[in-house]
Amino acid sequence: MNPRLETAAMDAITLRLFDTIEEENMAWIMAADSALRHAFGDALTDLTPSYTTLLIHYDCTRLSFCEASNKARRALDGLQPATTQDGQLHEIPVWYDESVGPELPLVAKRAGIGVEALIQRHCAHDYCVFALGFAPGYGFMGLVEEALATPRLTTPRKRVPAGSVGIADRQTAIYPLLSPGGWNILGRTAVPLFEYARRGEPLFNPGDKVRFKAISKAEFEAAGGDTTPMEERS
């Protein structure tokens, strides 16, 4: 780790800890997250952790640029990575079906396996949450095993329904609400990620782990899932 503080804006500093995406980064990112929250206190306007960085947004009526930089530097002194127990494991039930996961055959075919094997392998890994972004409660997770990695659709869809579970390259994610999107959709969950996020209590945070669990259509419906098939590409 080689921490660098970079000017991002008049009242924002990027703390860059790493250069590449690794699951191991997250223990350090989350340690820096809590150290910075503690050090800045009320003078912190926003703190956005991501794969390799944290964006520190501070109140410039209370801290000058130099004071903020020094505070950040001191907060990092003697930083230790968060222990793995700090990140929680969340199990997300998913109904994998072509009607709500139209790219199941495509991703399976690219991997040279059947759809059943694809579902099993997508569920076999505990994915690390790298960042929340794109939409409230949208978690960028990975890393998906190399064989299942699939590039984004050439033309993004205008409407990806809430709960859609997708893959893009070596990442996987769940759409919390109806939005445009270009990820390869494999299935749908009834877990209301958006509702958690808008209450300020996201189901998962960066540094947490997520495991998908395949469920039947009946179980999905019982959980309140919407079985409306995905619309044709528009």
Partner 1 sequence: MKGLRVIQAGPLALIQDSGRFGVNHLGVTQGGAADWISHRWANWLLGNPVHSAALEIVIGGNLTLEAEREVTLALVGADLGARIDDAPLAAQGTFTLAPGQRLCFRRPQGGLRTYLAFPGGLDAPETLGSRACTVREKIGGLTDDGAPLKTGDRLTWHGGEPTPRWLPRSAQLPLPAQGVVTLPFVLGAQAAHFAGRSLYQAFNQEWTVDQRADRMGIRLTGTPLKSTLTGIVSEGIPLGAVQIPPDGQPIVLMNDRQTIGGYPRIGALTPGACARLAQCLPGTRVRLAPISATQAQMNHRRQLSAWG
3 state SS of 153:
coil
From 8-16, 82-90, 106-114, 211-219, give the range in contact with partner 1 by CB under 8 A: 8-16
Looking at residues 169 to 188 of the shown chain, list those that interact with partner 1 (rule: CB under 8 A): 176-177, 179
Query: What is the contact mask toward partner 1 in residues 23 to 42, using x (rule: CB under 8 A)?
Result: ----------x---------
| 202-206 long-range Cβ contacts below 8 angstroms, 24+ apart | 202/132, 202/137, 202/139, 203/90, 203/137, 204/88, 204/90, 204/129, 204/139, 205/87, 205/129, 205/132, 206/26, 206/29, 206/30, 206/33, 206/49, 206/50, 206/129, 206/130, 206/131, 206/132, 206/139
* Euclidean distance between CA atoms 168 and 170, whole angstroms: 6
From 104-112, 137-145, 208-216, 222-230, give the range in contact with partner 1 by CB under 8 A: 137-145
Name the strand (E) or helix (H) holding 213: strand 209-214
Q: Using CB under 8 A, pick the residue from 27, 32, 52, 82 that binds partner 1.
A: 52
44 binds partner 1 (CB under 8 A): yes
61 binds partner 1 (CB under 8 A): yes
What would the two tokens of residue 52 be? 């390799």
Q: Using CB under 8 A, pick the residue from 138, 175, 183, 220 that binds partner 1.
A: 138
Looking at residues 107 to 136 of the shown chain, list those that interact with partner 1 (rule: CB under 8 A): 131-136
* Euclidean distance between CA atoms 229 and 199, whole angstroms: 28
143 binds partner 1 (CB under 8 A): no
* CB of 65 or CB of 89, closer to partner 1: 65
From 45-53, 70-78, 93-101, 223-231, give the range in contact with partner 1 by CB under 8 A: 45-53
The DSSP bridge partners found for residue 44 are 58
Does residue 173 contact residue 205 with C-beta atoms inside 8 Å?
no
C-alpha atoms less than 13 angstroms from C-alpha of 38 in its C-beta half-sphere: 11
Q: How near is the Cβ of 62 to partner 1 at its closest, in Å?
A: 10
Residue ranges that bind partner 1, judged by CB under 8 A: 4, 6-12, 14, 19-21, 33, 44-55, 57, 60-61, 64-66, 131-140, 176-177, 179, 194, 197-198, 200, 202, 205-206
